[in-house]
């Protein structure tokens, strides 16, 4: 597959005003008739050739132009294209294709999920259905007729509104759907199946009634309430915060068990991975509840940021994804604790996204080239893209940002546009020049801020010096300085914050140069800076804090995020010192001051359990790895485990006390307060369990047996399953299996607990589970829960010194590539990081990448990741 470049973009030669589709659904031979109204694009260079995309799996049955059959020499079929050699200015085109949904294991285009038909067309799945200009800047009004057996497929869904239905003599029925809003093919969807639905109504701000329906298999009907509540909250929020109203009479969500991604925002007909829509207290953890809420909101928000205003080409993917992630993050912050939400977001950004930005697949938020677009649904496009939009929000202020969003939606409604257009709307309403800011879209890599300071008591003047730099990444060696907001506060010795500009205690500094100095006057005592408050920019900050200063910020900073981060940095330093001790064979010990800091956090925990649960969690292995000079997975795991054990032992009575205090009193609720209580209690339990005392084991077992919700039951399970109590672990795992074997999503969790078990023999256990009846090698959720979890969340076993983990992953990628290239390419991530390890591991990882490369016949997806990783 060739590399495609942003610089080569040209507008489409022909436009499609309307498309009418008729699907005669059949498991192995679905007939698709399409009728297109085509006309030459007045904005494009004149040509008589019409180029349509079409995947090799699509059989072309018939093609007619203005009602006349096209002779075989009037078109050419080559690679991914069908080219009509000589077409008039405007015409009607009729195409009939035949496709095989049952054979579609890639889960792109039309496929079967547990016997029901569904589609996934983003980014380039529509070309697996019929021949069409499958690019987002071709927008058309879609009419879709579905024909299928009435008894087996009673529900037939399409985009837009249903306009007509009827029955055929042969037991089949049909429904016609019309979507009045022109859209690109990637937003097309259909569903046919034996489904039940939960229905509700929503009255929009202008008083229109919208029918809301969430479809699932009958057995899952009881798991739809939470998604419905989330949907209504999201609809209201988008009206209140962005002034955006829903535009069709009906909004549908369908849950499917086989899905490559999380969910898809098809116009009026979202299709969701069951993992992102089903939720019930008995079977779903609190984290699952929150994921459902945020993904439901995310897909809903796309109706404006993505559908009404869409992307010109796939290089602009972050136009809709970065903005929409920012929107869903703000929504979640409004629904729950803003600090907890921010800590979670930043956690993802600066572990996984920073790692991506430092690896061979690093790319700008708006990539300049790609081989396979599916590989660019990345943390950089989504999470860093959201961070970039957040910086605009911070720089311009909420009110101006809102005006910019209004202008953007108004100016570009019904258009396919670029990230430049988005920034331009912000520039126009603010009157600011955002040219330099746009470097965030074109330069990859995580910038580094080196901060130093100077206080002069005589003049009461405090100065902050900031130097910014950005490492080389594959697309560029040299980087120009970024324009970024640096939020700072200055603390007095009593812990209060200085009042700075505009009577505020947080001041926004704007960085634009490689080096800048900021001056604060009337500072009457030497201050301690609180830098990058609320993580105001996606950068790595370096400032020479002492341990005492970090501890001071941890207890006094008014910025919740920075309090948490001070604690993380304090722990991280200790982790690094202990790793050095471990590598030199020295005994490990925790300083008393560190334990004392934790003791005081424990004492204050009941005042804010949500914050306490965050503060009492050590930096993750993934974060420690990302910040390490060279990753030593064994040392990292060992040191972190040592710290957990030491903290558990020295503070045992406090953990126990806190655990008791936060016991569930009166049944399950999904309120923020209850979630916080559970997270703190279960954190305490996990510390206690590392002590391997029978009394604590009994506590966990009792919680496992008596819990009325999955959060508590699962927390008990994982704490026992990863403990040294082998018999009890096996018992609980067996009990959990028999209790939940018919709940597919719970079985994913069961697989994951075992896949992430750090104790010896991990690979053998995973290999056994591959043969287990609950595992399904075709289901992406199962693959992620077992193979993905093992390779990404079980570092000690995956990075086994003999290279067995790497070989295992390569074996599966080779096997999976023919079946589902998107999932195969995604699983590769841990191997792409090979340069971060010591020479022996590097060689082993590289050898496996080379082995995949040598196989040849790879999909574009896997080829792109492997070839970029090796070069
Ligand atoms: N566009 C989808 C999303 O919402 C990706 N499948 O992220
Ligand atoms: Zn999205």
Q: Which residues contact 655 (CB under 8 A, 6 or more apart)?
A: 602, 648, 684, 687, 688
Q: Please give, one letter per residue, the 3-state secondary structure of 526-595.
A: CCEEEECHHHCCCCEEECCCCHHHHHHHHHHCCCHHHHHHHHHHHHHHHHHHHHHHHHCCCCCCCCHHHH
Integer Cα distance of 133 and 139 in angstroms = 10
Ligand 2 midpoint to CA 789 (Å): 23
Which residue's CA is the nearest one to ligand 1's atom 1?
Answer: 264
- The string of pLDDT tens digits covering residues 513-529 is 999 999 999 999 999 99
Ligand 1 midpoint to CA 366 (Å): 16
Which residue's CA is the nearest one to ligand 1's atom 2?
Answer: 264
Ligand 1 atom nearest residue 321's Cα? 7
- Tokens read off for 727: 């018999």
Q: Which of 302, 319, 822 should be mutated for ligand 1, with most atoms under 8 A from CB?
A: 302
Ligand 1 atom nearest residue 263's Cα? 6
270, 294, 280: which is closest to 215 by C-alpha? 270
Question: Looking at residue 365, what is its pLDDT?
Answer: 99
- Mean per-residue pLDDT, 822-850: 98
Q: Is the CB of residue 400 less than 8 Å from the CB of residue 429?
A: yes
Q: Rounded to 5, what percent of the chain is helix, strand, coil?
A: 45, 20, 30
- Residue 762's Cα: distance from chain center in Å? 27
Return the H-helix or E-strand segment holding 517: strand 515-520
Ligand 1 atom nearest residue 299's Cα? 4
> By percentage, how much of the chain surpasses pLDDT 70?
100
Ligand 1 atom nearest residue 324's Cα? 4
Q: Which of 108, 253, 263 should be mutated for ligand 1, with most atoms under 8 A from CB?
A: 263
> By percentage, how much of the chain surpasses pLDDT 90?
99
Environment of ion ligand 2 (residues, CB < 5 A): 321, 324
Residue 603 reports pLDDT greater than 80: yes
Ligand 1 binding pocket (C-beta < 6 A) is 122, 261, 263-265, 298-299, 302, 321
Residue 50 reports pLDDT greater than 80: yes
Question: Looking at residue 666, what is its pLDDT?
Answer: 72
Handedness of CA 385, 389, 390, 395 (dihedral sign): positive
Integer Cα distance of 404 and 393 in angstroms = 10
Point out the ligand nearest to the CA of residue 265. Answer: 1
Integer Cα distance of 569 and 589 in angstroms = 18
Ligand 1 atom nearest residue 260's Cα? 6
- The string of pLDDT tens digits covering residues 855-871 is 999 999 999 999 999 99
Residue 667 reports pLDDT greater than 90: no
Ligand 1 midpoint to CA 545 (Å): 40
Looking at per-residue pLDDT, the higher value among 666 and 479 belongs to 479
Domains in the chain and their CATH numbers?
Answer: 1-103+115-192 (2.60.40.1730), 310-442 (1.10.390.10), 451-545 (2.60.40.1840), 546-663+673-690 (1.25.50.10), 692-740 (no CATH)
- The string of pLDDT tens digits covering residues 66-83 is 999 999 999 999 999 999
Handedness of CA 22, 118, 379, 348 (dihedral sign): positive
Which residue's CA is the nearest one to ligand 1's atom 5?
Answer: 264
Running DSSP on this structure, what letter comes out for residue 309?
B
Q: Is there a catalytic annotation at residue 89? A: no
Q: Is the CB of residue 10 less than 8 Å from the CB of residue 45?
A: yes
Question: Looking at residue 610, what is its pLDDT?
Answer: 96
Which residue's CA is the nearest one to ligand 1's atom 6?
Answer: 264
Q: Which of 107, 187, 189, 264 should be mutated for ligand 1, with most atoms under 8 A from CB?
A: 264
Catalytic residue among 217, 293, 299, 321: 299
pLDDT-derived band at 1 (thresholds 50, 70, 90) equals confident
Integer Cα distance of 225 and 462 in angstroms = 55
Integer Cα distance of 410 and 397 in angstroms = 20
Q: Which of 124, 253, 261 should be mutated for ligand 1, with most atoms under 8 A from CB?
A: 261
Residue 692 reports pLDDT greater than 90: yes
Answering whether pTM is above 0.95, one says yes
- Mean per-residue pLDDT, 167-177: 98
Residue with tokens 């993905």: 788
Which residue's CA is the nearest one to ligand 1's atom 3?
Answer: 264
Point out the ligand nearest to the CA of residue 262. Answer: 1
Ligand 1 atom nearest residue 298's Cα? 4
Ligand 1 midpoint to CA 580 (Å): 42
Ligand 2 midpoint to CA 306 (Å): 8
Ligand 2 midpoint to CA 537 (Å): 22
Ligand 1 atom nearest residue 122's Cα? 6
Name all contacts of 419-425 with Cβ < 8 Å and 24+ positions apart: 419/316, 419/318, 419/319, 419/365, 419/366, 421/319, 422/319, 422/323, 423/392
Residue 664 reports pLDDT greater than 80: no
Q: Which residues pair with 76 in a beta bridge?
A: 83
285, 775, 267, 266: which is closest to 275 by C-alpha? 285
Ligand 2 midpoint to CA 237 (Å): 17
- Mean per-residue pLDDT, 325-341: 97
Integer Cα distance of 659 and 644 in angstroms = 16
Point out the ligand nearest to the CA of residue 271. Answer: 1
- The string of pLDDT tens digits covering residues 718-768 is 999 999 999 999 999 999 999 999 999 999 999 999 999 999 999 999 999
Question: Looking at residue 827, what is its pLDDT?
Answer: 98
144, 188, 179, 140: which is closest to 416 by C-alpha? 140
Ligand 2 midpoint to CA 304 (Å): 11
- Does residue 123 have a cis peptide bond before it, meaning omega lies within 30 degrees of 0? yes
Integer Cα distance of 798 and 785 in angstroms = 15
Average pLDDT for the chain:
98
Question: Looking at residue 59, what is its pLDDT?
Answer: 98
Residue with tokens 């070309």: 127
Q: Which residues contact 344 (CB under 8 A, 6 or more apart)?
A: none
Ligand 1 midpoint to CA 263 (Å): 6
Integer Cα distance of 825 and 832 in angstroms = 11
- The alpha carbons of the chain give a radius of gyration, in whole angstroms, of 28
Question: Looking at residue 663, what is its pLDDT?
Answer: 86
Question: Looking at residue 357, what is its pLDDT?
Answer: 98
**ipTM, interface predicted TM-score of the complex:** 0.98
Question: Looking at residue 352, what is its pLDDT?
Answer: 98
Q: Please give, one letter per residue, the 3-state secondary structure of 67-86.
A: CEECCHHHEEEECCEEEECC
């Amino acid at each position: 597959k060739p590399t495609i470049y942003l610089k080569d973009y040209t507008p489409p030669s022909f436009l499609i005003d309307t498309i009418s589709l008729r699907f005669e659904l059949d498991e192995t031979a679905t007939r698709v008739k399409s009728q297109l109204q085509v006309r030459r694009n007045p904005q494009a260079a004149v040509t008589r050739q019409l180029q349509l995309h079409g995947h090799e799996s699509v059989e072309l049955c018939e093609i007619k132009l203005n009602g006349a059959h096209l002779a075989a020499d009037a078109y050419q079929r080559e690679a991914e294209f069908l080219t009509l050699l000589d077409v008039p200015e405007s015409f009607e085109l009729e195409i009939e294709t035949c496709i095989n949904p049952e054979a579609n294991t890639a889960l792109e285009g039309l496929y079967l999920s547990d016997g029901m038909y569904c589609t996934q067309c983003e980014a380039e799945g529509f070309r697996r259905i019929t021949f069409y200009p499958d690019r987002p800047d071709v927008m058309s009004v879609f009419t879709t007729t579905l024909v299928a057996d009435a008894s087996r497929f009673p529900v037939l869904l399409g985009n837009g509104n249903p306009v007509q239905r009827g029955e055929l003599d042969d037991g089949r029925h049909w429904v016609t759907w019309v979507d009045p809003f022109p859209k690109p093919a990637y937003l097309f969807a259909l569903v046919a199946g034996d489904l039940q639905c939960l229905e509700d109504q929503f009255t929009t701000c202008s008083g229109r009634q919208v029918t809301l329906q969430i479809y699932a298999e009958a057995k899952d009907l009881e798991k739809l309430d939470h998604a419905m509540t989330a949907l209504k909250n999201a609809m209201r929020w988008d009206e209140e915060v962005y002034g955006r109203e829903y535009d069709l009479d009906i909004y549908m969500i369908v849950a499917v068990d086989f899905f490559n991604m999380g969910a898809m925002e098809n116009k009026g007909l979202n299709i969701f991975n069951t993992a992102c829509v089903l939720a019930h207290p008995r079977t779903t953890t609190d984290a699952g509840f929150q994921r459902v809420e945020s993904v439901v909101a995310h897909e809903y928000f796309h109706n404006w940021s993505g559908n009404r205003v869409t992307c010109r080409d796939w290089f602009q993917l972050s136009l809709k994804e970065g903005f929409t992630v920012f929107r869903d993050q703000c929504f979640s912050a409004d629904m729950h604790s803003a600090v907890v939400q921010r800590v979670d977001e930043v956690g993802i950004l600066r572990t996984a996204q920073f790692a991506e930005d430092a690896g061979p697949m690093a790319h700008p938020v708006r990539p300049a080239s790609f081989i396979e677009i599916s590989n660019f649904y990345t943390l950089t496009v989504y999470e860093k893209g959201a961070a970039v939009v957040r910086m605009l929000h911070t720089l311009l202020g909420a009110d101006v940002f809102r005006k910019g969003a209004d202008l953007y939606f108004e100016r570009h409604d019904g258009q396919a546009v670029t990230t430049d257009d988005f920034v331009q709307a912000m520039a126009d309403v603010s009157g600011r020049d955002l040219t330099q800011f746009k470097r965030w879209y074109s330069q990859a890599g995580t910038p580094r801020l080196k901060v130093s300071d100077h206080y002069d008591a005589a003049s009461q003047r405090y100065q902050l010096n900031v130097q910014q730099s950005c490492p080389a990444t594959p697309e560029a060696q040299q980087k120009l300085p970024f324009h970024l907001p640096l939020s700072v506060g200055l603390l007095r010795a009593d812990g209060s914050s200085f009042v700075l500009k505009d009577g505020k205690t947080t001041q926004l500094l704007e960085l634009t140069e490689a080096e800048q100095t900021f001056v604060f006057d009337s500072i009457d005592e030497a201050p301690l800076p609180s830098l990058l408050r609320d993580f105001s920019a996606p950068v790595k900050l370096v400032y020479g804090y002492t341990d005492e200063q970090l501890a001071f910020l941890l207890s006094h900073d008014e910025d919740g995020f920075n309090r948490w981060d001070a604690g993380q940095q304090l722990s991280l330093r200790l982790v690094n010192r202990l790793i050095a001790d471990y590598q030199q064979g020295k005994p490990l010990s925790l300083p008393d001051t560190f334990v004392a800091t934790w003791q005081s956090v424990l004492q204050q925990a009941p005042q804010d359990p949500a914050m306490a649960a965050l503060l009492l969690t050590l930096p993750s292995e993934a974060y420690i790895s990302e910040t390490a000079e060279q990753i030593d997975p064994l040392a990292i795991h060992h040191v972190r485990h040592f710290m957990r054990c030491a903290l558990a032992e020295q503070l045992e009575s406090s953990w126990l006390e806190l655990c008791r205090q936060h016991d569930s009193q009166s049944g399950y609720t999904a309120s923020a307060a209850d979630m916080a209580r559970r997270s703190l209690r279960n954190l305490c339990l996990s510390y206690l369990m590392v002590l391997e005392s029978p009394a604590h084991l009994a506590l966990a077992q009792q919680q496992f047996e008596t819990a009325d919700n999955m959060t508590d039951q699962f927390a008990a399970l994982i704490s026992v399953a990863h403990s040294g109590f082998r018999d009890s672990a096996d018992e609980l795992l067996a009990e959990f299996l028999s209790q939940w074997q018919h709940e597919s999503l719970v079985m994913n969790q069961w697989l994951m607990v075992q896949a992430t078990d750090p104790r010896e023999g991990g690979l053998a256990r995973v290999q056994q589970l591959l043969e287990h009846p609950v595992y399904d090698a075709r289901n992406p959720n199962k693959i992620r829960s077992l193979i993905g979890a093992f390779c990404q969340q079980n570092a000690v076993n995956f990075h086994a010194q003999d290279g067995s983990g790497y070989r295992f992953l390569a074996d599966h990628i080779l096997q999976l590539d023919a079946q589902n290239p998107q999932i195969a390419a995604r699983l590769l991530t841990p191997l792409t990081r090979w340069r971060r390890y010591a020479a022996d591991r590097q060689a082993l990882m590289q050898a496996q990448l080379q082995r995949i490369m040598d196989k040849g016949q790879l999909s574009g997806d896997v080829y792109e990741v492997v070839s970029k990783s090796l070069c």
